[in-house]
């Protein structure tokens, strides 16, 4: 006999949870038909139960303790939309008693995802987290099911809508960084404190989650070399355009014979790349598999309803298993540390832009720094500036990343260099 209802414990009642409750109400019939029973929220945990809520919570027990919700006997499925590390104990409580978990918590997953997967496997249940990377794009489901046995060589992704909006606006409207950030804030694409977005940390968290699924390796996000878009100037975007590139903040996972190259940084990418047309607040995940070749997943990476739909998709999948009595083998997760290729050893092309004194001999000094670090130049432009300055823009050939960084350090130390050089990697395989 199937249960009369799948009883849901919900942690959080903020932006995503409110969207989730709305979809639960609006899609009630579809959900019941898909699952074979209705999904009914029995308990909700919030920080402040006295706060007025936008969602209708009549008939629902509202409390402040997430662990109590996870442990409650009238909860068959735990949906965690509170965020942060503090909810770990609640997730552990649910998983240890065999209750499946759905979460959007990229931060916790990138820190302790492997531990949570192990807890789920040990009790023959599941933890699903489609909404945690790529928001509404069903890329984790695809990796978990249809692509489970594929071997990937490459994953390159635009995973942060805030920075993608800023870069797109700078490129399209000729705005500078501060103006574009301001516009992102006004449209609700940037939080009041966008540090995690701008520094690339948010992208690194999501990359670590995707890589666990696509490459079956466990990589804490803090070990991924990460650079953000702070300091990107309008002139860099103009120069990118002149050379046939666009600028994107990328999460990159590239399989080499001697290890996995993982990194997050802004990059010039050729305009012909599919990812070049992922603009504004949209996200894109490009994958290259041995059997499947190229694939692009594209869509909204954040926002109440796209994220809530990803959560609902996971919730319905988990609920179907509850109703069908599906149990999983108590298998250890397959993710391993995996061999890494250090960023120092990665070979890549670079864009460099320098402001130097406009006098004879300066170019030779710059060339000396590059040559001394075995970096050769593929293209160069020099433009006369004002006040006796010249702007030099260069694209290098492939070189070891450490060698280019050494050369840039050397150039920055030349007395004729007026401003710290700009250096951006080119991603053009
Ligand atoms: N927003 C997006 O577009 C988006 C996209 C992808 C993933 N996510 C992820 O989804 C999760 C939720 O994001 P959100 O934007 O919906 O956050 P939010 O609007 O700040 O809502 C968080 C909710 O969780 C509750 N909460 C926080 N800590 C709690 C605790 N320790 N115990 C009990 N309740 C707690 C808060 O209670 P009070 O209301 O009482 O303060 C609030 O209701 C996060 O993990 C986030 O990274 C969000």
To 5 degrees, how large is the angle CA 190–CA 270–CA 213? Answer: 60
Predicted confidence band of residue 330 (pLDDT cuts 50, 70, 90): low
pLDDT per position as a tens digit, 21-39: 999 999 999 999 999 999 9
Report how far ligand 1's centroid is from the alpha carbon of 278 (Å): 27
Does 45 sit in the ligand 1 pocket, CB within 6 Å? yes
pLDDT at 144: 92
**DSSP type of residue 21:** H
What's the CATH number of domain 6-135+303-324, 2.60.40.420, 3.30.565.10, 3.40.50.720, 1.10.10.10? Answer: 3.40.50.720
The end-to-end CA distance of the chain, in Å, is 55
pLDDT at 425: 98
Report how far ligand 1's centroid is from the alpha carbon of 23 (Å): 17
Does 419 sit in the ligand 1 pocket, CB within 6 Å? no
Does 46 sit in the ligand 1 pocket, CB within 6 Å? yes
Residue range(s) occupied by CATH 3.30.360.10 in the chain: 144-300
Q: Are 366 and 423 in contact (CB under 8 A)?
A: no
For residue 17, which atom of ligand 1 is closest to its CA? Answer: 16
Residue whose Cα lies nearest atom 30 of ligand 1: it is: 47
Residue range(s) occupied by CATH 3.40.50.720 in the chain: 6-135+303-324
To 5 degrees, how large is the angle CA 26–CA 127–CA 122? Answer: 145
CATH 3.40.50.800 is the classification of domain 144-300: no
Q: What is the DSSP string of 240-280?
A: HHHTTEEEEEEEEEEEETTEEEEEEEEEEEETTSGGGG--T
C-alpha span between 376 and 347 (Å, rounded): 13
pLDDT at 286: 98
pLDDT at 149: 93
Residue whose Cα lies nearest atom 4 of ligand 1: it is: 302
Does 307 sit in the ligand 1 pocket, CB within 6 Å? yes
Best probe residue, ligand 1, of 41, 47, 113 (max atoms within 8 Å of C-beta): 47
Best probe residue, ligand 1, of 10, 12, 61, 106 (max atoms within 8 Å of C-beta): 12
Mean pLDDT for 230-237 is 96
Which residues, 6 or more positions from 293, have their beta carbon under 8 angstroms from its beta carbon? Answer: none
Number of H helices, E strands in the chain: 14, 16
Here the tokens at position 101 are 């978990």
> Cα–Cα distances in Å, from 253 out to 52, 167, 217, 227?
44, 22, 11, 15
Does 302 sit in the ligand 1 pocket, CB within 6 Å? yes
42 three-class SS? strand
Report how far ligand 1's centroid is from the alpha carbon of 16 (Å): 7
pLDDT at 332: 56
For residue 64, which atom of ligand 1 is closest to its CA? Answer: 33
Best probe residue, ligand 1, of 79, 81, 193, 209 (max atoms within 8 Å of C-beta): 81
Report how far ligand 1's centroid is from the alpha carbon of 82 (Å): 4
Catalytic residue numbers, as ranges = 206
Reported as type and span, the H/E element at residue 91 is helix 88-96
Range in 252-256, 268-272, 339-343, 385-389 the model is least confident about = 385-389
pLDDT per position as a tens digit, 158-216: 999 999 999 999 999 999 999 999 999 999 888 889 999 999 999 999 999 999 999 99
Residue whose Cα lies nearest atom 10 of ligand 1: it is: 104
Q: Which residues of 351-365 are buried (b: 16+ CB within 10 A; e: fewer)?
A: bbbbbbbbeeebbee
232 CB-contact burial (10 Å; exposed 0-12 / middle 13-18 / buried 19+)? buried
Report how far ligand 1's centroid is from the alpha carbon of 162 (Å): 18
Residue 335 confidence (pLDDT) above 70:
no
pLDDT at 374: 97
Does 164 sit in the ligand 1 pocket, CB within 6 Å? no
- The packing angle between helices 28-35 and 15-26, to 10°, is 80
Residue 1 confidence (pLDDT) above 80:
no
pLDDT per position as a tens digit, 238-291: 999 999 999 999 999 999 988 999 999 999 999 999 999 999 999 999 999 999
User: How high does pLDDT run on average in the chain?
Assistant: 95
Which residues, 6 or more positions from 246, have their beta carbon under 8 angstroms from its beta carbon? Answer: 171, 240, 268, 269, 271, 276
pLDDT per position as a tens digit, 60-117: 999 999 999 999 999 999 999 999 999 999 999 999 999 999 999 999 999 999 999 9
Does 193 sit in the ligand 1 pocket, CB within 6 Å? no
Range in 239-243, 384-388, 407-411 the model is least confident about = 384-388
Residue 426 confidence (pLDDT) above 80:
yes
Report how far ligand 1's centroid is from the alpha carbon of 396 (Å): 44
Report how far ligand 1's centroid is from the alpha carbon of 46 (Å): 9
| Widest CA span in the chain | 87
Q: Are 73 and 98 in contact (CB under 8 A)?
A: no
Rama region for 136: left / alpha / beta (φ>0; ψ in -120 to 50; rest): alpha
**DSSP type of residue 4:** S
> Cα–Cα distances in Å, from 393 out to 243, 396, 426?
10, 10, 14
pLDDT at 336: 64
Question: CATH code for 345-426?
Answer: 3.30.70.260
Other CB atoms within 10 A of residue 297 CB: 17
């Amino acid at each position: 006999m199937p249960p009369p209802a799948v009883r849901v414990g919900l942690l959080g009642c903020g932006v995503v949870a409110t969207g989730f409750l709305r979809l639960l109400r609006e899609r009630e019939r579809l959900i019941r038909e898909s699952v074979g029973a209705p999904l009914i929220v029995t308990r909700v945990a919030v920080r402040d139960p006295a706060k007025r809520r936008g969602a209708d919570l009549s008939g629902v027990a509202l409390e402040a303790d997430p662990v109590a919700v996870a442990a409650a006997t009238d909860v068959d499925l735990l949906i965690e939309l509170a965020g942060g590390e503090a909810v770990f104990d609640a997730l552990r409580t649910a998983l240890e008693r065999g209750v499946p978990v759905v979460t959007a918590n990229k931060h916790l997953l990138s820190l302790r995802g492997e531990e949570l997967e192990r807890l789920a496997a040990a009790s023959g249940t599941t933890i699903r987290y489609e909404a945690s990377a790529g928001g509404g794009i069903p890329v984790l489901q695809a990796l978990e099911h249809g692509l489970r046995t594929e071997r990937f060589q490459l994953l390159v992704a635009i995973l942060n809508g805030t920075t993608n909006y800023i870069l797109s606006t700078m490129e399209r409207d000729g705005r500078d960084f501060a103006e574009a950030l301001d516009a992102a804030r006004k449209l609700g694409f940037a939080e009041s404190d966008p540090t995690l977005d701008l520094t690339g940390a948010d992208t690194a968290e999501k990359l670590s989650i995707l890589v666990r699924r696509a490459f079956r390796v466990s990589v804490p996000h803090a070990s991924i070399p990460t650079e953000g878009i702070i300091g990107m100037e309008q002139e860099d975007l103009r120069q990118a355009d002149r050379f046939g590139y666009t600028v994107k903040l990328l999460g990159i996972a590239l399989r080499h014979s001697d290890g996995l190259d993982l990194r997050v940084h802004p990059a010039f990418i050729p305009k012909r790349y599919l990812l070049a047309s992922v603009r504004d607040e949209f996200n894109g995940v490009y994958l290259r598999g041995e059997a499947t070749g190229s694939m692009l997943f594209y869509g909204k990476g954040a926002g109440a309803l796209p994220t809530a739909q990803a959560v609902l998709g996971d919730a319905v999948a988990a609920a179907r298993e509850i109703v069908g009595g599906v149990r999983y083998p108590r298998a250890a997760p397959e993710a391993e540390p995996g061999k890494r290729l250090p960023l120092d050893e990665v070979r890549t092309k670079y864009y460099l832009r320098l402001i130097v004194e406009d006098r004879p001999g300066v170019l030779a000094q710059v060339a000396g720094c590059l040559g001394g670090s075995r970096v050769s130049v593929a293209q160069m432009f020099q433009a006369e500036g004002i006040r006796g300055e010249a702007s030099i823009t260069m694209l290098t050939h492939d070189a070891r990343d450490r060698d280019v960084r050494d050369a840039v350090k050397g150039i920055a130390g030349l007395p004729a260099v007026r401003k710290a050089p700009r250096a951006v990697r080119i991603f053009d395989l």
